[in-house]
Structure 1
Amino acid sequence: MEGNGDPCRPVDVGMTRVFELFGKRWTGLIVSVLMQRPVHFAELRRAIPGISERMLSDRLTELAGAGLVVREVDEGPPLRVAYRLTDAGAAMEPALEELGRWAEKHLAGESGCPNHG
């Protein structure tokens, strides 16, 4: 609403950083899978239908760079790579659970249309 005399407050730095990371497709889904337990790359890919290996790898690299995910190599044989959340990543669980509850209440099905009922 224009003209009310109150300037629009700029978005704070923390919120900007959150959405730079979580505003990207797949990131939230990856974290939600890792909330359950550490997961090997192939399991993680199967748990998220539609994600390519390259995209999964890119997102995991970004999450690791942000300090939210750790890559662990099991020398095997066979050599396997698993991913787990760091303490900082795991600390997002209450926020993600709240977002899930909000979505169930306010977003209808796959269409993304608000639930008016």
Structure 2
Amino acid sequence: MADRDETACRQVDGGMTRVFELFGKRWTGLIVATLMPGPVHFADLRRAIPGISERMLSDRLAELTAAGLVVREVDAGPPLRVAYRLSEAGLAMEPALQELARWAETYLGEGGRCPERFRK
């Protein structure tokens, strides 16, 4: 009985599972962070995130849009341009992203590794 209770306590929270299913994918966090200040056109968004392909950016934006975090807006033009912005739900993530950035400044060194003094 005690083993079963201990196992139940160790299970991952459903909310955390949903967060990491979305944000655990490469580029997703960077896209959201880039959109935090305001709307960005697709081409500008791609330039702002070095190394991401057009296909990957398009796929991640579609996922974020389907999740309700990003809104796709078409500028009629000419020329026709597409911009993306965070929805109210996406903007609500700003405090969490700022806290993660503070954590990274404190606990992740330049090479992305935790400094020796924090490994205890």
Which structure shows the bigger proportion of residues in helix conformation? 2
Cα distance in 2 for partners of 1:79, 1:6 equals 57
Partner of 2:94: 93
Q: Which amino acid aligns with 2:40?
A: V
Identity %: 73
In 2, the alpha carbon distance for the partners of 1:60 and 1:80 equals 15
What is the CA–CA distance in structure 2 between the aligned matches of 1:116 and 1:97, rounded to whole Å? 24
What residue is the counterpart of 2:37 in the other structure? Answer: 36
1:12 to partner: Cα distance: 1.2
Which ranges of 4 or more aligned residues in structure 1 deviate by more than 4 Å? none
TM-score by length of 1: 0.92
Structure 1: gaps spanning 5 or more residues: none
Number of the residue aligned with 1:45: 46
TM-score w.r.t. the length of structure 2 is: 0.89
| Aligned length, in residue pairs | 113
Aligned-pair Cα RMSD in Å: 1.4
* 1:6 Cα deviation after fit: 3.5
Long gaps (5+) in structure 2:
none
1:105–1:115 Cα contact (<8 Å) kept: no
> Which secondary structure does the structure 2 equivalent of 1:78 belong to?
coil
